[in-house]
Structure 1
Amino acid sequence: MEFRYCLVWMVAVGLSKSWTKGNLGPEGCEDGWHHFKDFCYLAVDAHIHFDSAKAICLLKGSTLTSLWGQDEIAFVTRLLQNLHVISPYTWIGTGVVRNKWVWLDGSGSLETLFEDTSLPEVSKEMCGYLTVDGLLKFMDCDYTTPVFICKKPLDMIYVPSSVNITKSGITLPAKDPDEIIFERLWPPFLDRVILNMTSSNYIATIEVAQATDCAYRCYNIDECRAFAVTCKSAKRCGIRYCILLAGLDVR
């Protein structure tokens, strides 16, 4: 028997939004957050010291932003510029682990990107910040910056292409043993879905390399009807979390 599973995009076009909450942006980030690649970023205009900024990000399910490349630095500096604060600079998620400067999200050493930057001695109680010019600098953690930026992975939810979406709910079809085409769910429909790991719809979370690997796992589990994929920050998205679901919990 031949079977086929694949991923495609589902675009919400020509459907009324009057019954949605409308609290997600076009890429799925929450209101006020900004999308870049596999992540959402929140730039907060507030004079605050490092530990408080870190704690606030954690409460929002995120971390102070790490920086993995020049394109991300350029994106973060644009966020700074758009705030229109005087002399903008922001705390970023630096820390010391095993006598080495690293990113707090577990994604590795600062030296990977800032090899030409002189890092302070690890014994000093210093924290990193990024200037509007894209320069990494350090100062006492008890000082304040006018901005801090949080970063969290974007949850991408996939459902069968024959999903039925109405005002009363989202109905997933019975599994077709011959063919399953998974489509990414976008706002405004995504606004209604709640990822709940304690729900009866939750099956398991596994690690995969790509979203297609997650689709394959879902296809081979009888009760799996949908799945979510999100970046594992500590692996810089080289590994992704695959959340397998028997159904969707909706608002």
Structure 2
Amino acid sequence: MTYCVALKLDRGLVFMSDTRSNAGVDDISQVLKVNSWEVPGDRAIVLLSAGNLATTQTVASLLDERAHAADPLSPSILTAHSMFQAATVVGNTLREVVTSISPLIPPSASPFGATFILGGQVGTEAPRLFLIYPEGNFIEAGDDNPFFQSGETKYGRPMLVRALDRAMTFEAAVKLLCVSFDSTIRANAGVDLPIDLRVIPANEHRISEKRRFERDDPYFNRVSREWSKALNEALSLLPDFNF
């Protein structure tokens, strides 16, 4: 299991993903679930992955290999003229990988399926964010849905729905995401620290923040403690129920 989130703010994009790949009794491991590509002055792109690990790693490797192999007839993640075209490249690559492994099974039903969140900025267009399904098709974030989740989404969603404001600062967005991840980690053993953070400021064509929150991270642990305390205090302030 995994948990990935990306936010589309007025000032840019924020991405966060956990690293848990197994949660068995005696088989716990972690893996990086975020890939990124940068061309100074032209583009910055981040890809978050959830689903079958072999599939996600194969897709990421193919995207990277093809990005560095010059082929004018086949757009790559580094030559796509827009984020829409980049999302199409990722979707086609995902469909290619899944159908090559299980050609007789629909991608949506395949045990080798995966889901990706792709975001970034190419050229002069505004930053864009996409959710790519196992079938290779995708949807784009807009004013009515300024964030995407993948993996174990239900426990961390309420905080995002209630508190996300597109005008918020990057610092406030990271705080909100830490709360969302803390709630998910407490409810599901399949999600855990370390957590990876990436930030793409609008019109800078770079990833300005690359950070990992480890299990002993003082900020994350403080947010976890203070959030629990605030919830208990808020509960005590609600009117009592009377039988």
Output the TM-score relative to the length of structure 2. 0.23
More strand by percentage:
1
